[in-house]
Amino acid sequence: MKLLESGTELDGFTIEECIHSGGMAHIYHVRYSEGARDPGFPLAMKVPRMTAGDGAENIVSFEVEHQIMQVLTGSHVPRFVAAGDLGNVPYLVMEYVDGKTLDFWLEEAERPGVKGLAFLGAAVAIAVHSLHQQNTCHLDLKPANVIIRKDGSAVLLDFGLSCNALYPDLLAEQLRKAVGSPAWIAPEQVVGVRGDPRSDIFAVGVMLYELATGELPFGAPRTTGGLRQRLWMDPPPPRKLKPDLPEWMQEVILRCLEPEAAKRYPSAAHLAFDLRHPEQVTVTDRGREVQGTRFGVHFKRWLRAAGMHYQPSPLPSHQIDEVPIVMVAVPHKDVSDATLYSLRQAVARSMGTRPGARLACVTVISGGQSGSSGDSGSETSLQRKHIAALRQWAQPLDLPGQQTSYHVLESGDVAQALVNYAVGNDVSVIVMGAATHGLKMQRFLATVPIKVAMEAPCTVILVKQALPFELLTQQAAALKSDQNEDLDVPF
């Protein structure tokens, strides 16, 4: 379709300037025509290219985006307004999102620093996780399709190649081939598997790699053979191209780029967690490597990939529900051994049924407590003390293959600190004592556990000790006394 002229009216919308002209669509600023209501936010209209020379995927992707945008909600996607049908003039009207795409940082003379890179990556991962919770995989994530708002949040654009597990996958049914942008497409997409949320995690890894090094990890292949190489090939380690990049950041990036989806982050929430808490990232040989993967390793992977068959994933929301971030609130004062034991047992049960879940052990200390001595080193000392206590508490859990991290929060409002942590880290389950953080307060309403249960955005498991250790000790002493009397042994 040819470009629409400024001032043209279409179904109650007035066309303004064209702000983007791509290979698959034109995008315009639009507004409601005179006398129509004001939506309260700026509008953009997307009109697909449908000339004789354009491929069938343009029409199919328009249908896909029309279908998916109507069911997506939240602040990480543009708000859907209206659509035109294929029989007349096809278009999509949506919220115009003001911000900068990730291309802005790629075009800058200097790459973002490590903190900036982690910030951008976490923002994108949070947006991707929100999409997966709605059973949608984007499958075409790239810098041009990610906008960072002024408040630092990310908005995802262009759902023409996406897949919603609750709707027919028109692209898979009609095109029967791998679709996506070659530089960012995941290995399983190359062989035709769509609907795995970890494909989007791979794309985020490609963007992080490019932001960190200025290079694409796999170049921009134009042939199927070039695309298939990522089924067994690792990219050059980022630290080989940028030696000052921290090992933890390389660990994160290369984990996203694992050829096998099962070896990547199990959910985008886990990825965001590591980017927000770099001190908790476990650095392996993957993060320390600077030479690159040996030929022999790549050759063995090539042999396996020759007969590899990827299996379609279950519903994205179900898949990420199986690998939640579990937070346990561990009190550090006015708490009995029985409560700590009961908390540990509850966490073991919760983690044991969710292989791949992540455990965040959190304790809250009083506001100002860490700096009470006026010594700048006292905070570090106090933090270490509480982290050591958390490690000691968690040691008997023995969670092989499951990541565990330790966090000390400082706040005068314990309940609010726990809720804020849960919201900020996409926590799915909170485990805490039914009467913790001050046993003397349990007789009053609105104690810490009650406040958390009322305000938390996720499941809260309140653990009540079944039998205090003190009572067990008394019973054991009484039993021993009875046994001694029964024996009637003379002294």
- Supply the pLDDT for residue 158: 94
Same domain assignment for residues 297 and 339: no
Q: Are 271 and 252 in contact (CB under 8 A)?
A: yes
Of the candidate ranges 80-84, 298-302, 321-325, the one whose mean pLDDT is the lowest: 298-302
Q: Could you tell me if residue 134 is inside a domain?
A: yes
Together in a domain, 186 and 262: yes
- Per-residue pLDDT at 131 exceeds 70: yes
Question: Averaged over 34-45, what is the pLDDT?
Answer: 84
Q: pLDDT at residue 436 above 50?
A: no
**C-alpha distances in Å from residue 85, one per residue of 29, 78, 171, 177, 399:** 19, 20, 18, 26, 54
- Burial of 426 per CB tally in 10 Å (0-12, 13-18, 19+): buried
| pLDDT of residue 446 exceeding 70 | no
> Residue 337 pLDDT more than 80?
yes
User: Which of 291, 319, 347 lies at the terminal end of a domain, its last residue?
Assistant: 319
- Beta strands 358-365 and 404-410: pairing type? parallel
User: Does residue 488 form part of some domain?
Assistant: no
pLDDT class for 54, splitting at 50, 70, 90? low
Q: Using alpha carbons only, what angle is made at residue 250 by residues 246 and 256, rounded to the nearest 5 degrees?
A: 150
Shared domain for 311 and 334, answered yes or no, is no
* Residues 330 and 188 both lie in one domain: no
Write the pLDDT tens digit of every residue in 469-484: 555 555 556 655 655 5
Looking at residue 444, what is its pLDDT? 47
Domain identity same for 311 and 386: no
Q: Is the pLDDT of residue 351 over 80?
A: yes
Range of the domain at 306: 101-319
How do residues 225-274 score in pLDDT, each as one tens digit?
788 888 878 899 999 999 999 999 999 999 999 998 989 999 999 999 99
Q: Chain-wide mean pLDDT for the chain?
A: 84
Lowest mean pLDDT among 62-71, 119-128, 240-249, 429-438: 429-438
- Do 254 and 360 have their domain in common? no
Same domain, 310 and 329: no
Q: Out of 257, 289, 319, pick the residue that ends a domain.
A: 319
Instruction: Assess whether 44 and 115 both reside in one domain.
Output: no
Cross-strand bridge partners of residue 461 = 431
Predicted pLDDT of residue 469: 53
**b/e 218-252 (16+ beta carbons within 10 angstroms → b):** beebeeeeebbbbbbbbbbbbbebeeebbbbbbbb
On the question of pLDDT at 358 being above 70, the answer is: yes
Comparing 472 with 110, the larger pLDDT belongs to: 110
Q: The domain spanning residue 231 has which CATH number?
A: 1.10.510.10
The residues, ordered by sequence, that sit 6+ positions from 66 with a Cβ below 8 Å of its Cβ are 83, 92
pLDDT more than 90, % of the chain: 51
pLDDT of residue 490: 39
Model pLDDT, residue 375: 42
Query: Which pLDDT value is given to residue 167?
Result: 84
Number of domains in the chain: 3
DSSP string for residues in 206-235: HHHHHHHHSS-TT----SHHHHHGGGTPPP
Residues 365 and 418: beta-carbon distance below 8 Å: no
Percent of the chain whose pLDDT exceeds 70:
81
Which residue type, as a one-letter code, is found at position 106?
L
Can you give the pLDDT at residue 470?
55
pLDDT score for 293: 72
Question: Does 211 lie in the same domain as 91?
Answer: no
Residues 86-95 have a mean pLDDT of 88
Give dist(CA 304, CA 232) in Å, integer.
8
The pLDDT assigned to 222 comes to 79
* Exposure string over 158-192, b if 16+ CB within 10 A, otherwise e: bbbbbbbbeeeeebbeeeeebbbbbbbbbbbbbee
Residue where a domain terminates, one of 284, 319, 354: 319
Q: Region 89-109: what's the mean pLDDT? A: 93
Give the Cβ contact number of residue 44 at 10 Å. 20
pLDDT at res. 377: 46
Question: For residue 478, what pLDDT is reported?
Answer: 62
pLDDT digits (tens, 9 = 90+) for 174-213: 555 566 788 999 998 888 888 899 999 999 999 999 999 9
Span 307-321, average pLDDT: 72
**Structural domain includes residue 377:** yes
Q: Which of 5-19, 150-164, 334-348, 459-473 has the lowest mean pLDDT?
A: 459-473
145 and 279: one domain?
yes
Among candidate residues 139, 61, 75, the one with its CA nearest the CA of residue 316:
139
Q: Does 116 reside within a domain?
A: yes
Angle at alpha carbon of residue 149, lines to 147 and 152, rounded to 5°? 110
Q: What is the pLDDT of residue 479?
A: 59
- pLDDT, residue 374, reads 42
Sheet containing strand 13-21, edge to edge, reads: 9-10, 13-21, 25-32, 43-48, 91-95, 80-84
Is the pLDDT score of 147 beyond 50?
yes
The β-bridge partners of 432 are: 329, 462
In a domain, 476, yes or no: no
Residues 303 and 365 in one domain: no
